[in-house]
DNA sequence: AAGTGGTCTAGACCACTAC
DNA sequence: TAGTGGTCTAGACCACTTA
């Protein structure tokens, strides 16, 4: 009896997977992403073992592993042999240089010294609203950081986030954060930055730039416009950086391990 | 008898894999990379079927597939269901925008119109030699392209390659190439560009820049210094681009699918 | 010793492409 | 119809971590 020779009829529905997708492992991947979005597991926490997850989603270990493989490739999960699989967490010594791409022209990488300059509530302009996926006029927080490398002021970051996603953010909390900004987003708001989009162009220093960077007004600077994304491409932060590249430079993409097209 | 309960003792040597690595699938991956470096299969050609390769390397299909999975993730191979697995080939409509990262500020992507400006043989400076991994004083070819987008001149590319890797390169062949430069490298020299490193900074237009880009001398420009790599991180091209970002901009990395650090 | 992820196997069925 | 890659299974053994 039982005509099933091997495994399961792949075309049958996966009753345990909460989110549908073309294939079983995609369903599992989406299911895990959904659980992450629902904050079932937070930054740095371990997710259930492969055995348990394979039972939860009703798939074999191999299929479950393929789903996790992709989430690890996306830097959303981290595996530690013998320990478990964890929600990737931003740390000073981990992931930092994937998002901080300014180095000295001789190649020397160092952590920036951040000075908080200002903090304000404001209403989103049309441009800011489009970048953050919110309504024009919606409330946002804007703050400015000055970054120094090797003791030299190198760049100014102007950062904007939506108030609805960062409810209760205060200048004091920002000033007193113990680690990186993206780590702070995780710990205080359970917002996980997993990707960015950046566009670069040349601009000239305005009055504020000139003062903060200690360069003459009109000095050419590198402008980096970044949108940071959480799961499912949800935009969570707009950041405009002005970089003095007299002795520093920006490290571009490596064009391998890069998305197709 | 035969105490082997399941599969093979993983620790035993893989006698068929020509290159050793920590695990079987890494050995297979290195073996395929070695065959590619030896030009056993050229750009655009199909490699043997998974069945044949698994027999050649003495591993199961699953292990063979894991090796190929990584090579596909590295954009070195391309799979086509029902057809086979192929050596990735640079084409106008494929891979082009992974290496060409300048777009109009409204986001519009278009193919550049390339004008060949000059061609020369020269000796490698210390800096060029270091970038290309050759001896200072070794012979190199240098050529300059002017690129226009939407009918407007936007950037100047100064390209240098080692004569020992591009023996017989002529200005005529360059001018008459039918497709992209990296496709030309593949077809004419069997050199496969699979990755790049880029550093960006702001410069001001020198006399040549000003003339070719039709901007005043001293205009701030974006400088992109790229080293292009073939298999095994072999540097094969140095390219210095000067970009007028008045109406265009540079698309940075996306910081997902990116190598760790 | 128990539990976790890491590697590997052997084979089934599906989807697609070419002839 | 034959051949290819794509998905999935069920389970073994290895390596690592914690206790």
Q: What is the mean pLDDT of residues A37-63?
A: 93
Q: pLDDT (tens digit, 9 = 90+) per residue, B177-228? A: 999 999 999 999 999 999 999 999 999 999 999 999 999 999 999 999 999 9
Q: Which residue is nearest to nucleotide D3 (CA to C1')?
A: B82
SS3 B201: strand
Instruction: Identify the architecture of domain A24-87 in CATH.
Output: Orthogonal Bundle (1.10)
Alpha-carbon gap, residue B238 to B167, rounded angstroms: 17
pLDDT at A5: 34
pLDDT at B13: 32
Which stretches of chain B sit within 8 Å of chain A by CB? 73-75, 95, 97-99, 101, 105, 194-202, 204, 220-222, 224, 226, 245, 248-261
pLDDT at A126: 97
Looking up tokens 């920590």, which residue turns up? B22
Q: pLDDT (tens digit, 9 = 90+) per residue, A57-93? A: 999 999 999 999 999 999 999 999 999 999 999 998 8
pLDDT at B7: 35
Q: For A202, which of B220, B226, B255 is closest by C-beta distance?
A: B220
SS3 B217: coil
Q: pLDDT (tens digit, 9 = 90+) per residue, B110-169? A: 999 999 999 999 999 999 999 999 999 999 999 999 999 999 999 999 999 999 999 999
Contact B205, B223 (CB under 8 A): no
Q: How far is the CA of A238 from the C1' of D6 (A)?
A: 39
Question: How many Cβ atoms are within 10 Å of A17's Cβ, its own excluded?
Answer: 23
pLDDT band at B93 (very low <50, low <70, confident <90, very high): confident
- Answer yes or no: is pLDDT of B9 > 90: no
Least confident of B7-16, B58-67, B214-223: B7-16
pLDDT band at A2 (very low <50, low <70, confident <90, very high): very low
Give me A157's structure tokens: 């970051």
The vertex-A249 CA angle with A248 and A252, nearest 5°, equals 160
Rg (CA), chain A: 22
Which stretches of chain A sit within 8 Å of chain B by CB? 73-75, 95-99, 101, 105, 194-202, 204, 220-222, 224, 226, 245, 248-261
Nearest-Cα distance to chain A for B135, in Å, is 21
**Percent of chain B scored above 90 by pLDDT?**
87
Q: What is the mean pLDDT of residues A209-232?
A: 97
Alpha-carbon gap, residue A259 to B9, rounded angstroms: 37
Question: How many Cβ atoms are within 10 Å of B166's Cβ, its own excluded?
Answer: 17
Cβ distance A257 to B257 less than 8 Å, yes or no, reads yes
Residue A84, beta-bridge partner list: A80
pLDDT at B258: 45
pLDDT at B23: 87
pLDDT band at B68 (very low <50, low <70, confident <90, very high): very high
Nearest-Cα distance to chain B for A261, in Å, is 5
Alpha-carbon distances, residue B52 vs A194, B36, B44 (angstroms): 39, 16, 19
Give the residue range(s) of CATH 3.40.1410.10 domains in chain A: 102-250
Bases of chain D within 7 A of a CB of the protein:
3-18
Contact A252, B198 (CB under 8 A): yes
Contact B164, B129 (CB under 8 A): no
Give the residue range(s) of CATH 1.10.10.10 domains in chain A: 24-87
- Answer yes or no: is pLDDT of A20 > 80: no
Q: Phi and psi of B157, rounded to 5°?
A: -105, 125
Q: Is the minimum distance from the CB of B82 to strand C below 7 Å? A: yes
Alpha-carbon gap, residue A187 to A23, rounded angstroms: 34
- Answer yes or no: is pLDDT of A204 > 70: yes
- Answer yes or no: is pLDDT of A14 > 60: no
Instruction: Identify the architecture of domain A102-250 in CATH.
Output: 3-Layer(aba) Sandwich (3.40)
Q: Which residues touch strand D (CB under 7 A)?
A: A 6-8, 10, 23-26, 58-63, 66, 80-83; B 5-7, 9-11, 47, 49-52, 61-62, 65, 79-85
Q: What is the mean pLDDT of chain A?
A: 90
Q: Which of A111, A198, A201 to mutate to test the interface with B (most CBs of B within 10 A)?
A: A201
pLDDT band at A21 (very low <50, low <70, confident <90, very high): low
Return contacts of B105-110, CB within 8 angstroms, 24+ apart.
Answer: B105/A201, B105/B247, B105/B248, B105/B249, B108/B150, B110/B149, B110/B150
pLDDT at B20: 59
């Amino acid at each position: 009896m039982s005509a099933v020779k091997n495994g399961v009829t792949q075309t049958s529905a996966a009753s345990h997977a909460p989110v549908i997708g073309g294939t079983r492992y995609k369903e599992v991947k989406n299911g895990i992403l959904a659980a992450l979005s629902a904050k079932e597991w937070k930054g740095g926490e371990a997710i259930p073992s492969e055995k348990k997850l394979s039972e939860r989603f009703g798939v074999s270990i191999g299929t479950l592993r393929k789903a996790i493989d992709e989430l690890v490739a996306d830097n959303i999960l981290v595996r530690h042999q013998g320990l478990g699989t964890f929600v990737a967490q931003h740390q000073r010594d981990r992931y930092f240089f994937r998002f901080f791409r300014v180095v000295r022209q001789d190649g020397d990488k160092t952590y920036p010294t951040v000075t908080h300059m200002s903090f304000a509530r404001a209403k989103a302009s049309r441009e800011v609203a489009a970048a953050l996926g919110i309504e024009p006029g919606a409330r946002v927080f804007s703050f400015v950081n000055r970054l120094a490398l090797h003791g030299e002021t190198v760049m100014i970051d102007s950062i904007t986030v939506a108030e609805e996603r960062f409810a209760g953010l205060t200048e004091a909390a920002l000033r007193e954060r113990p680690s990186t900004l993206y780590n702070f987003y995780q710990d205080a708001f359970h917002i996980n930055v997993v990707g960015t989009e950046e566009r670069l162009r040349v601009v000239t220093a305005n009055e504020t730039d000139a003062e903060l960077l200690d360069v003459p007004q009109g000095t050419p600077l590198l402008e980096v416009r970044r949108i940071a994304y959480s799961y499912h491409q949800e935009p969570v932060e707009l950041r405009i950086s002005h970089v003095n590249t007299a002795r520093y430079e920006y490290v571009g993409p490596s064009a391998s391990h890069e998305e197709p097209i």
